[in-house]
Structure 1
Amino acid sequence: MPRFVDRVVIHAKAGNGGNGCASVHREKFKPLGGPDGGNGGRGGSVVLVVDPQVHTLLDFHFHPHVDAPSGKQGMGGNRDGAAGADLEVKVPDGTVVLDEKGRLLADLVGAGTRFDAAAGGRGGLGNAALASRARKAPGFALLGEKGQVRDLTLELKTVADVGLVGFPSAGKSSLVSAISAAKPKIADYPFTTLTPNLGVVSAGENTFTVADVPGLIPGASKGRGLGLEFLRHIERCAVLVHVVDCATLEPGRDPVSDIEALEAELAAYTPTLQGDTTLVDLASRPRAVVLNKIDVPEARELADFVREEVVRRFGWPVFEVSTVSREGLRPLTFALWDMVSEYRKAQPAAVPRRPVIRPIPVNESGFTVESDGEDGFVVRGARPERWIAQTDFTNDEAVGYLGDRLARLGVEDELLRLGAKPGCAVTIGDMTFDWEPQTPAGVDLPLSGRGTDVRLEQTDRPGASERKAARRERRKPGGDS
């Protein structure tokens, strides 16, 4: 049996950027070929795309993990790695995207609407791109960035012109099946409808959509019954129709009290789409009342008795209908179309959404330095943290290049200004260093072996030349294997 899912949590993971390549061009009779390592490819992004052929979030219910491919590593000969393809994930029209804290990120309405759910990591630069006047043949390359990982909540809010609200067994499903070609489940027990049903209704040459959503009970705005699963599907409706069961035998219920109870729940509901007042102002939405089941004699008498009182108290149009005998259905459909068309004309013209570009100010340093409260410091900022993730800490030359970048950015000057002492702990991203002031950036340094830096010679780790010598010793006959 098919299932309808209108709320899921997905785990979107963008692809990692490929590592850059550290390579030297080697060709006969060209001993100084120079660096020719290519750049790593960009990681693929996770993109949500509205597809009219998708009507439920069921696929994400069974497969919540969405992973985009990573970029390829750069290669020698100035060959860049291939970029990871963006993963386009199809979602239904009317999908709302929320972040981990429940904040609205995107409202996806309209075929083809796109949203970048997770951005792919940038590829690392190869040593050919890192070559400069002072560093003509870099013996290192930058690592690729990690792709963005996010837990997102997807909510499907039905896109319909008319929303039918009412108590369980009020006849909403029967009404939809009578005025449209929809075939919802109909039975003589409460909560027959567990998922929204959408029907297309014709009123002469005009058409509009009607949503039959699960029944409402007092306390639904706080989660009772089907609660929020019902209410989220009426946020987009242009017209709300109260379907009242005039043939109910439950004590203490009458059409007026039913309408008042439903209105209390609508007023107490806090919508998700709080940023768009044209969608969430349920109190100002046009309304109508349908007194249903007048094919039952007692129900017809009750409908005739309360009709004037409903008009006097609420001021809404009232229609008496029977889905069994189809009495009153044609006037109802034309009246609903008039209300929908008037509501559409009253709304301002939709303005196409444009991408928002927020350039970084020229004088923006891009980082902050704060004390950790224990004689150490924490450096925060997009650029320093990205540079840390791109650095291969097994390569002294790469570490020296990182120090130059941080010095040019002004991190060392800020540490000195705040009173940092040599040897104090400095944390950037996931790395903690014992800080030692370096040679000022831009000063020419004596040339050393590839992968080394004279400023880091005090390290206890064997340098590149020592590792090469040890490798030659092991390869000699009788040496250690």
Structure 2
Amino acid sequence: MTTFVDRVELHVAAGNGGHGCASVHREKFKPLGGPDGGNGGRGGDVILVVDQDVTTLLDYHHHPHRKATNGQPGAGDNREGKNGTDLVLPVPDGTVVLDGNGEVLADMVGQGTRFVAGQGGRGGLGNAALSSARRKAPGFALLGEPGEGRDIVLELKTVADVALVGYPSAGKSSLISVLSAAKPKIADYPFTTLVPNLGVVTAGETVYTIADVPGLIPGASQGKGLGLEFLRHVERCEVLVHVLDTATLESDRDPVSDLDAIEEELGQYGGLGDRPRVVVLNKIDIPDGKDLADMIRPDLEARGYRVFEVSAVARQGLKELSYALAEIVAGARAAKPVQEATRIVIRPKAVDDAGFTVTQEGDGFFRVRGEKPERWVRQTDFNNDEAVGYLADRLNRLGVEDALLKAGARAMDGVAIGPEDNAVVFDWEPTVSAGAEMLGRRGEDHRFEAPRPASQRRRDRDAARDEAQGEYDGFSPF
């Protein structure tokens, strides 16, 4: 059964915003007390948070679909809908978030680091919020905005100071088990280690972490063996330790050729050329192993490597190795620049940025793209004529009508607002802009106007009666 997963594809969906409410306040002796429809609640976000207690992505491997809750719709009496609950997903330290194209969205390192993977939809405004001096009693409300949905990839890169690399059965698991309190699986056959093991080592005043990366073989960077799956776990390490088997039973292998082969794979993987290297000659408790270690050590030191002869089984040479690694890790930490306070970068919009674009796509067809127009379309109830008129007013005030005229649009040309896979298409009528002032009076309800004086009502009634009598007197069926 799978117990360790370091790469998953996750399908996240934020909550939808609740719809606004169209309502009119009614009470005794005041049947038309004005609009009182409340706003819809905001949809919940999907948030990734680094949690030190989480070490694998196994849970998301079994349950890859995650959705936050929706916002509740508004109600009458100015009652706003309840906001959706944010969905918080804990991830291991060192998780990299990528989109479907492989672009990095976030590199999550450090306890509590947060990333909003899906933004909840805005709640729709109720008719109480839409009312104004010119639109006293809107008979419509805005719909809640759909929550953001996306497919993301989570990749775990182990956060460790030291990485042990080498051929299978070179003794990496045995070494990490005696240097730290880690308890990896140890056996005398290749590829015993199927997942990276992590241990904590204390050497004097320095505490550092050490990772045992599953065995590499030639061709690992192209997918052979297990190397390609786990090479990413050495990317964050400060020191690479080559664990060489000086007592190998394979006649076609020797420690120097093993070192060259692993370095070739690390070079092809890329990005690791600046990491300091340390060579550990393991299994010197075996006579032939000790003799071979003494023979090749001068050659390795001539290449510039720091070489340590150890025996994980007999626990020889471990203290010197531990303190040497602590010294390198401490130096690497001291060389890192001091973390500056988070800077807020403000990028103001360009002076000529209209907030939308109009492009011609073929003869007689235009597409409008922009955050505001697309959001307004999503929040419009197209079954309500008054809501459609309100959308037309907003687009006209934004300048979409003028932009279409400048782009060469003519009457009955097709206009799409939104992307190709989710757009609203309509036949454009340019005369709408000419009556923009008239359209701006949509939603007025004369029932809410101040009542006329009794004398004026009597005069209007008498005038209507006289007009009707005159028409009757002049009527002739012949």
TM-score by length of 1: 0.88
Moved more, 23-32 or 188-197: 23-32
Distance (Å, rounded) in 2 between the aligned partners of 1:350 and 1:3: 35
- How much identity, in percent, do the aligned residues show? 65
- Rounded Cα–Cα distance in structure 2 between residues aligned with 1:336 and 1:156: 24
Q: Is the 8 A contact 2:393 2:439 kept in 1?
A: no
Partner of 2:463: none
Q: 1:255 deviation in Å?
A: 1.6
**What is the rounded CA distance, in whole Å, between the counterparts of 1:199 and 1:447 in structure 2?**
71
Q: CA deviation at 1:355?
A: 5.4
Using a 3 Å threshold, how does the CA distance of structure 1 residues 317 and 124 change in structure 2: closer, same or farther? same
Residue number in structure 1 paired with 2:398: 409
Give the CA RMSD over aligned residues: 1.8
Correspondence for 1:389 among 374, 378, 397: 378
Task: Pick from 438, 443, 446 the counterpart of residue 437 of structure 2.
Answer: 443
Preserved CA contact (<8 Å) 1:143 1:391: yes
More off after superposition, 257-266 vs 238-247: 257-266
| Residue segments in structure 2 that go unaligned for 5+ positions in a row | 446-478
The alignment status of 1:46 with 2:46, answered yes or no, reads: yes
Unaligned runs of 5+ in 1: 271-280, 452-481
* Superposition map of 1:55-454 within 5 A: 55-270=55-270, 281-313=271-303, 315-354=304-343, 356-361=345-350, 363-429=352-418, 430-437=423-430, 438-440=432-434, 443-444=437-438
What are the superposed Cα offsets for residues 85-118 of structure 1, whole Å, 9 maximum, x if unpaired? 1111111111111111101111111111111011
**TM superposition shift of 1:383:** 1.0
For the residue of structure 1 that corresponds to 2:363, the secondary structure is coil
TM-score (norm: length of structure 2) = 0.89
**Are the structure 2 counterparts of residues 256 and 353 from structure 1 closer, same or farther at C-alpha, using a change threshold of 3 Å?**
farther
Deviation at 1:374, TM superposition (A): 3.2
Report if the CA contact (8 A) 1:404-1:440 is conserved: no
Cα distance in structure 1, aligned partners of 2:81 and 2:346: 28
The 3 A distance-change label for structure 1 pair 383 and 447 is closer
Q: CA deviation at 1:223?
A: 1.7
Deviations 1:388-438 (A, max 9, x none): 111100000111111111111111111112221211111112211011121
Q: Deviations over 1:134-181 (max 9, x none)?
A: 211111111111100011100111111110010111100000011111
Q: Give the greater-gyration-radius structure (CA).
A: 2
Q: Look up the SS of the partner of 1:283 in the other structure.
A: coil
**Equivalent residues, number:** 440
Distance 1:284 1:449 in 2: 68
State how far apart, in whole Å, the 2-side matches of 1:38 and 1:90 are. Answer: 34
Q: Name the CA distance, whole Å, in 2 between partners of 1:352 and 1:282.
A: 28
Deviations 1:230-269 (A, max 9, x none): 2100011111100000111223322222111111111111
Q: CA deviation at 1:386?
A: 0.8
Residue aligned with 2:28, SS: coil
Contact 1:163 1:239 in 2 (8 A): yes
Question: Cα distance 1:156–1:449, how it changes in 2: closer, same or farther (>3 A)?
Answer: closer
Q: Distance in 2 between matches of 1:240 and 1:441?
A: 73
What SS does structure 2 have at the residue aligned with 1:232?
Answer: helix
Helix, strand or coil at the partner of 2:207: strand
Preserved contact between residue 215 and residue 230 of structure 1 (Cα < 8 Å): no
1:443 aligned partner, one-letter code: E
